[in-house]
Structure 1
């Protein structure tokens, strides 16, 4: 045997780029982001650590990621702090942190929405103006700040109309109004107490009547389009169908693929892409809600972030990781092309139809809720894989809380859209019966 050759010391692993996650309540929990970031980047969370709404998510990542507390810092201080970390990317999955993330991105010269684009994405009145001026869609719309301005707004918009906050998400304080009296009553209720920051301005806009034949019987008359935007070009990942809304406008989940004929899906995508370009979206993930009307698809709103609960169903149904796509785009890395094409005929698709069904109580719900009873009621239905009903305080949230008032989510799949409609009917019947049970005080 010859002399032993000297062993070369192993090379240290390359340093991963640093990604800032501007964290708040949103569509991707910290642990979900860390899972998508594995082997891709190091994640530093920027957030207000003392916020009780964030406590559980922050505990889950303790020891797995650095957390920088923003409590008490103004925007300029946050931008200086962020720049000092020399990040390679910045991202958020929170509607209310879009503006701060845009400012951080600008200060660090990183890809994200420009501040003026965030204005267009978060201000519902401004968004309607831009879409109208860009020739995308003219939706009658008026800004209302107090009951004194209602007469002029109603003369412009007409009845019925939709009253919603100028800023916000999740259908909070969003309702249909059919008379001037009802509109004034709702506006007074929603603005009680005032808001010196001006964030309680409301928008009154024309009600878009749905086409029951658009998606077919048993499902909602609207869809959402999930896209990844790279250098100003939207790449459509999915057209997502919906179960029927719970009044007034509370979303109850997602269906993938959506039960749309390919020509209608193509029209929906074409409208969504024109809207994204008109609003100046250049980078990131978007979630665009589109109403199916007798006159064709119409934009409800364009959101400049991942939709709530969307990443799970897209990955389950299509195998596409929207969270990872958002991280790669933020880092300036290539983003995977979505497959299959959302306009592909249903006969050429393979696999089951995936769904999420959110357990949203009716507006007049008063009875106490026992999670174990709900799980028992629903878990035995064919096609149901999981009923997730976290512990509650026993009382359903008021309808003004919007989709945040859901008690839990049912996850599952069906062989096709016909079978899915039958399953959704069973879920709705069981939930209706559940709420008719005698009220029981929580133990």
Structure 2
């Protein structure tokens, strides 16, 4: 018998994780927020805690589990990347549906992630980790002149990722990472170097339930080179009948199996190389650009609702989603606007934003910097000042409106 108002605990529902609250509430659940850190992470869009039944802050694991047990929750679910280990541990300790804690570290640490995938016999990059920039340079020098990728162990949004063509570049990239803080508030004490994967990079979004899966979307990265980095320009929705989709999703399912992801959303980045798919990285959480209305209008469903069903109503998920693939109802992409401007944001012009929002192809506009924040030249996703979700039946209309968005974006921020 289904509980009338089951209790769901969301851990760190930053960014797109906030959409899970509405999705669970839509299924009749009461939703509590649990923060894994004493203070909110300033680099991520914070959840509106007033919309939750209660807001808690984690203490030591035993005490946190005791406090949660008093609420008699049906689920403990990660809302964003930093909350994955805590959600895994709490759900396991409370005997709830869980991905378990045994592979939690491999779902966050990119070195452990690739090693788990390699152990399962799934194609992946060569790699090396170290807290010594000279050691990173030495490893790069052993790659027979091939480029290497140097990046943090547990960041997102291409933060700190550099493509290096020689050991000196690798050394410099490692030094630039060591000691810095990721968007998740974690200090980079080590650096990861990997063999460069040549090919076309894709996003593969999924939702799992007891190991059965829904392929929620495949998006092709359209990137632009900015300095030593390839920066996301657009995420372009791929038609589900494109042969590459079946190959990418089958490969991603193998990756999820290797990482023990049996429940909930996952967001994978996969390179289609001449030898086949190879994992860049995967997060046990939703796509960071996921927008429920946009995804439902373009793909037929959104990852938040599918995730809520997978966790809370497995039988309904099985009937509606298991073993199925998204649809492409119209051409669509997520446009990550880049900027070369730098300075303190004095104001944001609401009239310019309204003009962007009124364009025929625009479905949603997300503004990242607020007055008082620093605008900086775009080098990764966090430093893209605008995210614009765009869809239209006519590709020409999309191209026209994208050009207009770019022109108007230069007028959005007034700098002091």
Q: Is the 8 A contact 1:394 1:441 kept in 2?
A: no
1:333 counterpart residue number: 314
**Per-residue Cα deviation, 1:139-192 (whole angstroms, up to 9, x for no partner):** 111112112312442145453111111122222211111221121122112214
Map of 2:74 onto structure 1: 88
Query: Residues 291-329 of structure 1: CA distance to partner in whole angstroms, max 9, x if unpaired?
Result: 233333322112111111224332231331322322233
Residue aligning to 2:173: 186
Return the alpha-carbon distance in structure 1 between the equivalents of residues 70 and 322 of structure 2. Answer: 39
Which of 322, 327, 333 matches 2:303? 322
| Alignment match, 1:366 | 342
Pick the aligned partner of 2:372 from 393, 407, 423.
Answer: 393
In structure 2, the partner of 1:74 is 60
Give the conservation status (yes or no) of the 8 Å contact 2:197–2:271. Answer: yes
Are 1:135 and 2:111 counterparts? no
For residue 40 of structure 1, give the secondary structure of its aligned residue in structure 2. Answer: coil
- What's the offset of the Cα at 1:103? 0.7
Task: Say whether 1:430 aligns with 2:413.
Answer: no
User: In the superposition, relative to structure 1, how do residues 395 and 88 fare at CA in structure 2: closer, same or farther (>3 Å)?
Assistant: closer
Does residue 410 (structure 1) correspond to residue 404 (structure 2)? The answer is no
CA shift in 2, pair 1:260/1:300, >3 Å: farther
**Distance of 1:123 and 1:69 partners within structure 2:** 26
Rate the CA distance shift 1:237–1:49 in 2: closer, same or farther, 3 A: same
Q: Which residue of 2 aligns with 1:123?
A: 109
**Residues 168-217 of structure 1, C-alpha deviation per residue, up to 9 Å, x if partnerless?**
2222211111221121122112214799x87531110011122xxxxxxx
Determine whether 1:442 maps to 2:411. no
The whole-number CA distance in structure 2 between the counterparts of 1:139 and 1:342 is: 27
Q: Which residue of 2 aligns with 1:290?
A: 270
Q: 1:38 aligns with which of 7, 15, 26?
A: 26
Which of 169, 174, 186 is the equivalent residue of 2:161?
Answer: 174
What RMSD over aligned residues (CA atoms) do the two structures have, in Å? 3.5
Moved more, 172-181 or 291-300: 291-300
Q: TM-score, normalised by structure 2?
A: 0.83
In structure 2, the CA distance between the partners of 1:236 and 1:386, relative to structure 1 (3 Å rule), is closer
User: Offset at 1:111?
Assistant: 1.4
Partner of 2:259: 279
Instruction: Report the CA distance shift for 1:366/1:245 in structure 2 as closer, same or farther (over 3 A).
Output: same
Q: Quote how far apart the aligned CAs of 1:427 are.
A: 5.7
Unaligned 5+ residue runs, structure 2?
none
Greater CA drift, 382-391 or 104-113: 382-391
Q: Pick closer, same or farther for the CA change 1:20–1:160 going to 2, 3 Å.
A: same
My pick for the range that moved more, 82-91 or 34-43, is 34-43
- In 2, the alpha carbon distance for the partners of 1:83 and 1:368 equals 45
Work out the CA distance in 1 between the residues paired with 2:373 and 2:188: 31
Could you list the runs of 5+ residues in structure 1 that have no partner in the other structure? 1-12, 211-220
2: CA distance, partners of 1:94 / 1:290:
20
What SS does the aligned partner of 2:102 have?
helix
CA distance 1:302–1:156, shift in 2 (3 Å)? farther
Preserved contact between residue 267 and residue 287 of structure 2 (Cα < 8 Å) = yes
Superposed CA deviations along residues 348-373 of structure 1, whole A, max 9, x for unmatched, are x6x321322122325xx436766438
SS of the equivalent of 2:73 reads coil
Shift of 1:245: 4.3
- 1:22 corresponds, among 11, 20, 29, to 11
Residues 100-115 of structure 1: pairs in structure 2 closer than 5 A? 100-115=86-101
- 8 Å CA contact 1:112–1:330 kept in 2: the answer is no
Looking at structure 2, the residues matched to 182 and 166 of structure 1 have their Cα atoms a distance apart, in angstroms, of 18
Separation (CA, whole Å) in 2 of partners of 1:40 and 1:265: 34
**Number of equivalenced pairs:** 402
Match of 1:299 among 279, 285, 294: 279
CA distance in 1 between counterparts of 2:296 and 2:80 reads 20
Select 1:356's aligned residue among 311, 316, 334.
Answer: 334
CA distance in 1, matches of 2:290, 2:400: 20
TM-score (norm 1): 0.78
Residues 57/162 of structure 1: CA separation in 2 closer, same or farther (3 Å cut)? closer
Take 1:55 and 1:83, find their aligned partners in 2: how far apart are those partners? 28
